Amino acid sequence: MSFIALLLTLIFVLIPLILSKTLRLGLEKDTLIATVRSIIQLFAVGYVLQFIFDSENSLYIILMVALMIGAATQNARKKGASIKGITWKLVLTFIVIEILTQGILLGLEITPPSAQYIIPLSGMVIGNSMVLGILFLNRFTAEVVARREEMELILSLGGTPKQAIQRSLLASIKASTIPTIESQKTIGLVQLPGMMSGQIIAGADPLQAVMFQLLILFLLLTTAIVTSIMLGFLSYPTKFNERMQIID
C-alpha cells in the first residue's frame, strides 16, 4: 500500500466525524485523538518490531511484552478504580495469561521460540485479556451496585461474602466471555478473521492460514475464561471488610 492510498483511507475517519457532528454525539475529539494516536503508535511499533526481529535478542522480547502488559494495565485499571489493588490484580492476571499461553505454545513446540511469533501472539493475547478485563470490571461493579440489597440480606442471614456475591460474580464472568464465545460460533460465516485474510492476501497457503487462525481462536478462548475468573476471584474479597460488611 502506498502513502497516497493510506491517505485515502482517512475517508473512513471522516465519515464518523461527520455523523458525530451532525447528530451531536460529541465523539469528534475522541475520534481524532484515537486516529492520531493509532497512526503514531503503529508506525513507531513497526520500526521497533523490525529492530527486535532483526536482533533476535531475548531481552528485547521480554521488554516488549512488559510494555504491552503495562499499557494494558494502565488502560484497564480505569474501569476498576473502585476495587482496591486493581493495578496489581491486572498485572498478575496478564502475566499469568502470558506465561500460560506461551508456556504451552513453546513447551509443546507449537510455535518456534522466535520474536516473529512470540511478540504478535503475546500482543493478541494480552490485548484480548485487556478487553475482557474491562468488560468484566464494568459488569462486576454494576452488578454489585444493582444487587446490593440482595447481598446484604444474604449476609444478615449468616451467609459468607462469597455466597453473597456469587450471583454477581458468575453473571459478570459469563457476560464478559459472551463476545468471545459468540464470535467463534460464526467465524468464517459472518466474518473472516483479519490474520487469516491477511496471510491469504500475502500469498500464504489457505490451509496454513486457517490452521494458524484456529490457533489464535483457541488462545483467545482460554484468555477470555482465565482472565474473567482470575479477576473475579481476586476482586470480590475487596468488596467486603473484616466484619463481612459491603464496602462502598
> In this predicted model, what pLDDT tens digit does every residue of 166-183 receive, in sequence order?
888 899 999 888 888 887
Q: Confirm whether 175 is domain-assigned.
A: yes
Shared domain check, 62 and 18: no
Q: Given this model, what pLDDT does residue 82 score?
A: 78
> In this predicted model, what pLDDT tens digit does every residue of 31-46 receive, in sequence order?
999 999 988 988 888 8
Shared domain check, 87 and 195: yes
Three-class SS state of 169: helix
Q: Confirm whether 245 is domain-assigned.
A: no
Q: Given this model, what pLDDT does residue 195 score?
A: 63
Shared domain check, 19 and 83: no
Domain boundary among 18, 34, 55: 55
Q: Confirm whether 247 is domain-assigned.
A: no
Q: Given this model, what pLDDT does residue 158 score?
A: 84
Shared domain check, 134 and 28: no
Shared domain check, 83 and 62: yes
DSSP structure class, residue 157: T
pTM: 0.80
Nearby residues of 161 by Cβ (< 8 Å), 6 or more positions away: 155, 236, 237, 239, 240, 244
Q: Which domain holds residue 107?
A: 57-239
Q: Confirm whether 13 is domain-assigned.
A: yes
Q: How many domains does the chain have?
A: 2
Residue located via cell numbers 520500526:
47
Low-confidence ranges of the chain (pLDDT < 50): none
Three-class SS state of 190: coil
Shared domain check, 201 and 94: yes
Q: Given this model, what pLDDT does residue 199 score?
A: 66
| H or E element at residue 173 | helix 161-185
Q: Around Cβ 120, how many Cβ atoms within 10 Å?
A: 14
Shared domain check, 76 and 51: no
Shared domain check, 118 and 222: yes
